[in-house]
Amino acid sequence: MKLKSAGWLLIALASVVFVGCASTGDDSGAAIEDRSGADTTGASAGSAWSGSELEDPNSPLYTKIIYFDFDQSTIRSDFIEVLRAHAAYLISNRSATLMIEGHADERGSREYNIGLGERRANAIRSFLEAEGVPGTQITTISYGEERPAAFGNDEPSWSENRRGVLVYGG
Amino acid sequence: MYRFLVSLLLIGLSLNAKASSLTIEITQGAEGALPIAVVPFAWRGGGATPPHEVGEIVAADLGRSGRFKPLPTDEMLTQPSRGDEVDFRDWRALNVDNLVIGDVKPNGPGGYLVQFYLYDVFRGEQLTGYSIPTTARDLRATAHHIADIIYEALTGQPGAFATRIAYVTSIRGATGQPEQVALRIADADGYGPQTIVSSKEPIMSPAWSPDGRRIAYVSFENARPSIWVQEVFTGKRERLTSYQGINGAPAWSPDGRYLAMTLSKDGNPDIFVMDVTRRSLRPLTRHRAIDTEPAWSPDGRSLVFTSDRGGGPQIYKVPVNGGKASRVTFEGGYNARASYSPDGRLMGMVTRVDGAYRIATLDPRSRDLRVLSTGRLDESPSFAPNGSMLIYATRVGGKGVLAAVSTDGRVQQRLRLQEGDVREPVWSPYLQNQRSR
């Protein structure tokens, strides 16, 4: 058997590995993506959180898109601080719920990309749970390559599309 | 040989017909295509002529296959429509091997009788001839059946012209507006596309039931993926699964009793088999990797699927009752979305070559992998029911379009839709009651 690549994907799946791979330092992940059906601001009356922290551009909580490297589902080092902030937020706001959307770029087959998107969403979930967030606060969904954020057929678009999106509910 | 040609093709598609049509162009024809003349069919009635010209549809079908080169009608010296009008010397002079003539007669209220004859020009012999009752509504289907009969008489393989394709279209909304996704069905020549379901959420992975009467697909309506089964002719549909996580990649067993599918309800994507009537579910694979995209062998005894258990995605095979999966693909770092040719001899799949994703066939016995397409983002290959061609999705100028390639790689076609992206084409099986012997 010519097993060309090592089982790094399996390793990534088995545990969330914090690879200190620097490289792709350019992260423009500070934008909030307003998606239809994604309720990112709606704080229900009487809930413990107001939503303001999540909307503060100076807060790490403002970042709600977590980018991934090609064919990878490991959390990049440049997103660890952001995810720790989200974990702390969820722990101190037990009525807040988080939907994690997993996405993939358009290359390769669609259903396999659904699997990749789920692996990315689960990597974020595992990170948050390891930080102490109860699993009951988190749900995940994979859109694979079906909901691209950028529509080009090249690496700049692909790198924007390999992402997890954090969508808060109240 | 005697055939009934009773067509249910267009009956009861009580659905939105206002979809933009597909046009098909041959981007690469086969060398050595057989020269054939299909004379326009004569109309032997009074009053209005039939809504479609049968000879034109037959000629277009044969030409599109790449196996035939129809003679343009303006190059014909005569246009006979009866046997006694044929002078073979005229056709020998034009170097055509075969000649098709025919006519259409009124046949009761709203009915037609279509007759045609196929000749061997050099021997001066009739090879076959049929008389087929039809209606205005089924006239195109009848023309496709005639093309099927001619194709089979001359190539020895059944034709696949009287079939349909299902595909997903997407029209991106303006900024802030949702995308419009639709699952559509058109005749195999692109004619008459109809939307059978539409949504603002993704629709994926359409799969025809073996009798062509139902389509399974994945829809993200209500913000979660579910597998639905919809009756093609009535539009009636039912949600089959809506488990936590992935509900994807439905694939009908050859007998239509089971659907293989991908579910991640137990934590990661595995293949399950559902008894469609009883709704009972059994796991087929259980592995920490992504297992997805199941496809049945034509004998129903095993399935192939995509798994990255060895690192990158590769094709594996597993017996229908479960057991150890064995690896099928060994060439290249990315092989996915496999499906068997109807005779089971080949598998179509997506393979990565120098960073480009292309359509390939694999002969699992010789392990010979043949790359057939030339794009960079080709995906979703689906065999024609006669195994002659694979239809697939590609990108041209940033737009999703459909293309088809013959399994020998010699003929390439492109199918264009006027608006939006097109993807995930699936070729129907032979449609029931259209092809009984």
> Is residue A50 predicted with pLDDT exceeding 80?
no
Is A134 an interface residue toward B (CB < 8 Å)?
no
Per residue in B98-134, pLDDT (tens digit) is 999 999 999 998 899 999 999 999 999 999 999 999 9
Residues B139 and B188 in one domain: no
Per residue in A135-168, pLDDT (tens digit) is 999 999 999 999 999 999 999 999 999 999 999 9
Which fold does the domain A29-169 belong to in CATH?
60s Ribosomal Protein L30; Chain: A; (3.30.1330)
> Is residue A15 predicted with pLDDT exceeding 60?
no
Residues B264 and B367 in one domain: yes
Name the domain boundary from B93, B121, B155.
B155
Residue range B34-59: average pLDDT?
95
B132 is a domain residue: yes
Is A23 an interface residue toward B (CB < 8 Å)?
no
User: In 3D, which of B181, B172, B171, B261 has the Cα closest to residue B216?
Assistant: B261
Nearest CA in chain A to B307: A112
For residues B100 and B130, the answer to whether their CB atoms sit within 8 Å is no
Residue B58 is part of a domain; what is its CATH number? 3.40.50.10070
Residues B187 and B105 in one domain: no
* Confidence class for position B410, pLDDT limits 50, 70, 90: confident
Residue B227 is part of a domain; what is its CATH number? 2.120.10.30
Q: Give me the residue from A36, A37, A111 closest to B249, CB to CB.
A: A111
The proportion of chain A whose per-residue pLDDT surpasses 90, expressed as a percent, equals 64
Q: Which residues of A touch B334 (CB under 8 A)?
A: 108
Task: Out of B147-156, B283-292, B305-314, B423-432, pick the least confident.
Answer: B423-432
Unique residue bearing structure tokens 């290959």: B381
Cβ distance A3 to B310 less than 8 Å, yes or no, reads yes
Residue range B38-64: average pLDDT?
94
Residue B430 Cα, gap to closest chain A Cα (Å): 26
Nearest CA in chain A to B293: A111
Residues B169 and B309 in one domain: yes
B91 is a domain residue: yes
Supply the ipTM of this predicted assembly.
0.90
Nearest CA in chain A to B381: A109
pLDDT (0 to 100) of residue B420: 80
Q: Give me the residue from A4, A34, A112 closest to B306, CB to CB.
A: A112
Task: Determine the distance from the C-alpha atom of residue A153 to the mean position of all C-alpha atoms in its chain, rounded to a whole number.
Answer: 22
Can you read off the two tokens belonging to residue A43?
Answer: 């704080």
For residues B4 and B138, the answer to whether their CB atoms sit within 8 Å is no
For residues B272 and B253, the answer to whether their CB atoms sit within 8 Å is no
Residue range B345-362: average pLDDT?
97
For residues B224 and B242, the answer to whether their CB atoms sit within 8 Å is yes
Residues B37 and B142 in one domain: yes
Q: Which residues of A touch B292 (CB under 8 A)?
A: 111-112, 114-115
pLDDT (0 to 100) of residue B66: 86
Q: Is A78 in a helix, a strand, or coil? A: helix
Name the domain boundary from B155, B177, B194.
B155
Question: What rounded mean pLDDT belongs to chain B?
Answer: 91
Q: What are phi and psi of B378, to 5 degrees?
A: -85, 140
Task: Out of A159-168, B121-130, B292-301, B416-425, pick the least confident.
Answer: B416-425
Question: What rounded mean pLDDT belongs to chain A?
Answer: 79
Residue range A55-64: average pLDDT?
93
B102 is a domain residue: yes
Residues B130 and B190 in one domain: no
Q: Which residues of A touch B308 (CB under 8 A)?
A: 9-10, 112, 115
Name the domain boundary from B108, B126, B155.
B155
Residues B259 and B124 in one domain: no
B2 is a domain residue: no
pLDDT (0 to 100) of residue B436: 34
B409 is a domain residue: yes
Q: Which domain holds residue B37?
A: 32-155
B13 is a domain residue: no
Helix (H) or strand (E) holding A99: strand A97-103
Residues B138 and B175 in one domain: no
Residues B141 and B282 in one domain: no
The number of distinct structural domains making up chain B is 2
Can you read off the two tokens belonging to residue B222?
Answer: 């209500």
Q: Which residues of B touch A107 (CB under 8 A)?
A: 357, 377
Is A143 an interface residue toward B (CB < 8 Å)?
yes
Cβ distance A114 to B176 less than 8 Å, yes or no, reads no
Is A106 an interface residue toward B (CB < 8 Å)?
yes
> Is residue B18 predicted with pLDDT exceeding 90?
no
* Confidence class for position B248, pLDDT limits 50, 70, 90: very high
For residues B329 and B349, the answer to whether their CB atoms sit within 8 Å is yes
Nearest CA in chain A to B315: A112
B122 is a domain residue: yes
- For residues B216 and A20, the model is more confident at B216
- For residues B364 and B29, the model is more confident at B364
Residues B260 and B301 in one domain: yes
Residue range B428-434: average pLDDT?
75
* Confidence class for position B432, pLDDT limits 50, 70, 90: low
Residue range A77-94: average pLDDT?
97
Q: Longest C-alpha distance within chain A, in Å?
A: 60
Q: Which residues of B169-179 are buried (b: 16+ CB within 10 A; e: fewer)?
A: bbeeeeeeeeb
Count of A-B CB contacts under 8 Å: 122
Report the residue of A112, A120, A145 to disrupt the B interface, i.e. the one with the largest count of B CBs within 10 Å: A112
Is A149 an interface residue toward B (CB < 8 Å)?
no
For residues B20 and B182, the answer to whether their CB atoms sit within 8 Å is no
B21 is a domain residue: no
Is A9 an interface residue toward B (CB < 8 Å)?
yes
Residue B39 Cα, gap to closest chain A Cα (Å): 44
pLDDT (0 to 100) of residue A52: 67
Residues B334 and B380 in one domain: yes
E strands along B11-97, which residues?
22-28, 34-38, 42-43, 68-70
Residue range A78-102: average pLDDT?
97
* Confidence class for position B226, pLDDT limits 50, 70, 90: very high
- B210-215 LR contacts (CB < 8 Å, sep 24+): B210/B252, B210/B253, B210/B254, B210/B255, B210/B256, B210/B429, B211/B256, B211/B429, B211/B432, B212/B164, B212/B428, B212/B429, B212/B430, B212/B431, B212/B432, B213/B432, B215/B166, B215/B183, B215/B185
Residue A82 Cα, gap to closest chain B Cα (Å): 25
Residues B84 and B233 in one domain: no
